[in-house]
Chains A and B, each alone.
Chain A
Amino acid sequence: MPDTRLPVAPAASRCPDIAVELDNVTFGYDARTVLSGITMSIPRGKVVAIMGGSGSGKTTILRLIGGQLKPRSGRVIVAGQSVPDLDREALFEMRRGLGMLFQFGALFTDMTVFENIAFALREHTELPEEIIRDLVLMKLQAVGLRGTAPLKPAALSGGMARRVALARAIALDPMLVMYDEPFAGLDPISLGVVGQLIRRLNDALGITSVVVTHDVYESLKMVDYMYFVAEGRIVAQGTPAEIRASDEAYVRQFVDGEADGPVPFHDPAPAYADDLFAHD
């Protein structure tokens, strides 16, 4: 377990029940601020959703947790380690305890399904080929796709590719799995399957899951806690029951899918009439 050999852990995260903690995190590119003052803590063993519209900065949060981006200010703590302060080697060491499912799966297109899942095992372990084979088939069985092992990713449907990517994300038995839009572009059946899988794998393997999504119905069914992010800030949070009961305007707009509300339908622009008659 990665957390048993940690050196010095900051006071706030010495508590073993917290897998990921973000403390007042701000991030931006040059002049543009993407996230400001994000504070969240993700308990071990739970499924936590980060909800928000497109471009609200949710994926950025995952990249901060994975150490692919560094925050401008604030602390990002994963399993007791401050991620931005890790050097390259320690960062790679930490990532071995992470799994990530990318938006469209990001399967390696030049390898078969089997090789995709075996990839991390072959890169990071010296296991003999028979054991790797057993492990890979086990992971594929867990997502119900053992029969696809010899196929190339191009031969899979969108939902199947997502499940294979899920099997790849859990190949090294990580303590934390991050899902970037796991439901995007899936038909309702595949969507239900993937949602169920995330929940079941989380409970069966004792991992912690962070799901970034804009699919509110699917999330309400399966998560333990959710954060709503809009314009780089957390605007609401709570358990699914609290969210359902919430009468906060943003949450209502998101849950009920209304076109106009706190998130305006119109992009900021000069007055319509001024624009129309501008050519005079």
Chain B
Amino acid sequence: MTSAAFLGLAHVLRRLGAGTLAFITRLGFATRFALAVIRNSPAAVRRIHLTLRELYFAGVLSLIIILVSGLFVGMVLALQGYDVLIRYGADESLGILVALSLVRELGPVVAGLLFASRAGSAITAEIGLMKATEQLSAMEMMAVDPMARVVAPRFWGGLIAMPLLAALFSTLGIFGAYLVGVKLIGIDAGAFWGNMQAGVDFRFDVLNGIIKSFVFGTAVSVIAVFEGYVAKPTAEGVSSATTKTVVVSSLTILALDFVLTVFMFRGLGV
């Protein structure tokens, strides 16, 4: 090996090591931050109107995108699913296909991704801007802890909103599939709902889906408040923090989804 190539390799290894170390340090810091948020949570419960306000921003303002996306995802699933199922004469299984896809996977995951980009980024930008304009410092100097006053209500608002949004996404998706499958294509409504009910189990499918959406909501909320809180107090610091929230949240959702799916649906033959 030539010395230049060796130096190049050493450089790459050093950068890789430094990057890994920085990542682990940040993860540790984020964990400590999350614990601090939870420690400050009683404040979010005590002054419930702050949390309700954040529930409004994270939940109500995300409704439109969640409802419309859910409807369209359901309709597309129905069209594509029907196209495949009809080849095997199993078109009456459309209901169960759509319901299982939505309740187990697409509901929590797609709603989570939309939630990260709609509400997560807004939370990060808001906290980051408050930091950049010294509002958080001002609060501290007024003897008010920003963790309790600003961060904790946003965290809980996001955490509560997410499972509800995921459930609404799945519901609208199933309704969209019903519109396409039953009203447009003409599958028998009884078969559509009957097969669905026979095949979807409350505890295994619906409850696991809700648990997933809870986990995703927690992850996105922690990431959003964390990135906002540690953002560099400049315009580009806030914008890069917002981008980071969306990217990190999305990757985290997908990774967590894999892990949770392995645990929840292992041994079911899926």
Q: Is the CB of A98 within 8 A of B141?
A: yes
Q: How far is the CA of A25 from the CA of B120 in the complex (A)?
A: 42
**Candidates A95, A102, A106; contact of B143 at CB < 8 Å:** A95
Q: Is the CB of A68 within 8 A of B141?
A: yes
Q: Which residues of chain B are near A123, meaning CB under 8 Å?
A: 142-144, 149
A255 to chain B, nearest CB (A): 29
- B240 contacts partner chain A, Cβ-Cβ < 8 Å: no
Q: How far is the CA of A96 from the CA of B145 in the complex (A)?
A: 12
**Candidates A68, A92, A109, A119; contact of B133 at CB < 8 Å:** A109
- B138 contacts partner chain A, Cβ-Cβ < 8 Å: yes
**Candidates A68, A96, A103, A104; contact of B140 at CB < 8 Å:** A68
Q: How far is the CA of A66 from the CA of B135 in the complex (A)?
A: 15
Contacts between chains A and B (CB distance < 8 A), count:
49
Q: How far is the CA of A109 from the CA of B132 in the complex (A)?
A: 12
- A120 contacts partner chain B, Cβ-Cβ < 8 Å: yes
Q: How far is the CA of A66 from the CA of B141 in the complex (A)?
A: 7
* Chain A residue with Cβ nearest B144: A123
Give the number of chain A interface residues (Cβ < 8 Å): 21
- A108 contacts partner chain B, Cβ-Cβ < 8 Å: yes
0/1 string, B2-21, CB within 8 A of A gives 1: 00000000000000000000
Q: Is the CB of B142 within 8 A of A102?
A: no
Q: Which residues of chain A are near B126, meaning CB under 8 Å?
A: 110
Q: Which residues of chain A are near B145, meaning CB under 8 Å?
A: 92
Q: Which residues of chain A are near B138, meaning CB under 8 Å?
A: 100, 102, 106, 108
Q: How far is the CA of A124 from the CA of B143 in the complex (A)?
A: 9
- B137 contacts partner chain A, Cβ-Cβ < 8 Å: yes
* Chain B residue with Cβ nearest A103: B134
- A129 contacts partner chain B, Cβ-Cβ < 8 Å: no
Which residues between 59 and 115 of chain A lie within 8 Å of chain B, taking CB atoms?
Answer: 66, 68, 92-93, 95-96, 98, 100, 102-104, 106-110
Q: How far is the CA of A172 from the CA of B141 in the complex (A)?
A: 12
Q: Which residues of chain B are near A68, meaning CB under 8 Å?
A: 137, 140-141
B31 to chain A, nearest CB (A): 21
Which residues between 118 and 164 of chain A lie within 8 Å of chain B, taking CB atoms?
Answer: 119-120, 123-124
Q: Is the CB of A92 within 8 A of B143?
A: yes
Q: Is the CB of A95 within 8 A of B142?
A: yes
Q: Is the CB of B134 within 8 A of A104?
A: yes
Q: Is the CB of A104 within 8 A of B133?
A: yes
Which residues between 126 and 176 of chain B lie within 8 Å of chain A, taking CB atoms?
Answer: 126, 129-130, 133-135, 137-145, 149
**Candidates B129, B140, B142; contact of A119 at CB < 8 Å:** B142
**Candidates A93, A109, A120; contact of B142 at CB < 8 Å:** A120
* Chain B residue with Cβ nearest A119: B142
Q: How far is the CA of A149 from the CA of B134 in the complex (A)?
A: 22
B115 to chain A, nearest CB (A): 21
* Chain A residue with Cβ nearest B129: A109
B235 to chain A, nearest CB (A): 14
Q: How far is the CA of A109 from the CA of B149 in the complex (A)?
A: 15
Q: Which residues of chain B are near A98, meaning CB under 8 Å?
A: 141
0/1 string, B218-230, CB within 8 A of A gives 1: 0000000000000
Q: How far is the CA of A68 from the CA of B140 in the complex (A)?
A: 8
Q: Which residues of chain A are near B149, meaning CB under 8 Å?
A: 123
Q: Is the CB of B140 within 8 A of A102?
A: no
Q: Is the CB of A108 within 8 A of B135?
A: yes
List chain A positions with a Cβ less than 8 A from chain B: 66, 68, 92-93, 95-96, 98, 100, 102-104, 106-110, 119-120, 123-124, 172
Q: What would 22 A/B residue contacts be, using CB atoms closer than 8 Å?
A: A66-B141, A68-B140, A68-B141, A92-B145, A93-B143, A95-B141, A95-B142, A98-B141, A100-B141, A106-B133, A106-B135, A106-B137, A107-B135, A108-B138, A108-B139, A109-B135, A110-B126, A119-B142, A119-B144, A120-B142, A120-B144, A123-B149
With A68-B141, A100-B142 known, 14 other A-B pairs at CB within 8 A are A68-B137, A95-B140, A103-B134, A104-B134, A106-B134, A106-B135, A106-B138, A108-B130, A108-B135, A109-B130, A119-B142, A123-B142, A123-B144, A124-B144
Query: Top 9 nearest A-B pairs by Cβ distance?
Result: A106-B134, A95-B143, A106-B138, A92-B143, A100-B141, A102-B134, A120-B142, A96-B143, A123-B144
